């Protein structure tokens, strides 16, 4: 019987913190013309985690991320991992039926959703979700340009990402996560029925990210990777974690 490798005793924030300590001014993310350094990314994650905690988000709460490949996807995910909350990755191509099913079965308490008045497909689909299939959803955080398309949803607090992350007061979120904490749910392909939910732990993601980085040589300081594959799927997500 082969000997299995022991998973590292690290949280995902430990990986981000280590990268930040090594070179805080190095570029972590490049989106359009915006260069986001590791130091800036760490600060944004810390601020977002603080605000989520103030909204009542705590360890093991489920937080949906329904966003395209933008920096806010990464920031939202790491903020969840800091608090020990579980991110629920929602495919950007899912329709109202799939989204309703995932929100219901995962028991999402909050949801990050992309907002664009010019083509607001995400909020339009969210409006189609029956109230009895989103009984646990309390907070919707809109990322992008403000839109009122889903403000008629009852019993839900709407907050813009920009307003949520603006804070001038000292913040100190509770780092409740441990290496074995559950951190993200992905859906299976759903070829025979509705997608199933698969949960991953922080030390497993951390170990996998290190293996990928070494294999495809992302551990070289000058390495850059184009994230053409969606973060919402395991391949795009794995690439992103390896790059970080």
pLDDT, tens digit (0-9, with 9 covering 90-100), for 157-187: 999 999 998 865 656 777 788 999 999 999 9
What the block records as the tokens of 112 is 């990050």
Q: What is the pLDDT of residue 16?
A: 92
Q: Which of 9-23, 40-54, 104-118, 188-202 has the lowest mean pLDDT?
A: 188-202
Q: What is the pLDDT of residue 2?
A: 45
Q: What is the pLDDT of residue 196?
A: 86
**What is residue 220's DSSP assignment?**
S
Half-sphere CA count of 158, side-chain side, radius 13 A: 16
Distance of CA 142 to the CA centre of its chain: 14
**Better-scored residue on pLDDT, 131 or 96:** 96
Q: What is the pLDDT of residue 168?
A: 56
**Better-scored residue on pLDDT, 170 or 39:** 39
Q: Answer whether residue 93 shows pLDDT above 70.
A: yes
Percent of the residues in the chain that have a pLDDT greater than 70, as a whole number: 92
**Better-scored residue on pLDDT, 127 or 133:** 127
Q: What is the pLDDT of residue 145?
A: 86
> How far apart are alpha carbons 167 and 221 in whole angstroms?
32
Q: What is the pLDDT of residue 56?
A: 94
3-state SS assignment for residue 92: coil
Q: Answer whether residue 57 shows pLDDT above 70.
A: yes
């Amino acid at each position: 019987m082969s000997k299995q490798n022991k998973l590292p005793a690290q949280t995902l924030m430990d990986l981000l913190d280590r990268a930040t300590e090594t070179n805080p001014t190095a570029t972590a993310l490049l989106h359009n013309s915006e260069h986001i350094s590791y130091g800036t990314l760490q600060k944004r994650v810390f601020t977002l985690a603080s605000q989520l905690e103030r909204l009542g988000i705590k360890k093991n709460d489920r937080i949906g991320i329904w966003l395209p490949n933008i920096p806010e996807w990464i920031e939202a995910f790491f903020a969840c991992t800091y608090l020990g909350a579980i991110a629920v990755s929602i495919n950007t191509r899912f329709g109202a039926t799939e989204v309703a099913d995932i929100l219901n079965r995962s028991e999402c308490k909050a949801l990050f959703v992309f907002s664009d008045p010019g083509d607001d497909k995400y909020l339009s689909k969210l409006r189609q979700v029956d109230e009895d299939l989103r009984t646990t959803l309390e907070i919707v955080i809109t990322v992008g340009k403000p839109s009122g398309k889903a403000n008629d949803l009852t019993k839900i607090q709407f907050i813009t990402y920009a307003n949520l992350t603006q804070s001038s007061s000292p913040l100190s979120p509770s780092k409740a996560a441990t290496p074995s904490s559950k951190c993200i749910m992905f859906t299976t392909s759903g070829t025979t029925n509705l997608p199933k939910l698969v949960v991953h732990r922080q030390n497993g993601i951390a170990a996998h990210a290190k293996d990928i980085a070494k294999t495809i040589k992302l551990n070289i300081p000058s390495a850059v990777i184009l994230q053409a594959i969606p973060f919402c799927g395991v391949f795009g997500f794995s690439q992103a974690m390896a790059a970080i």
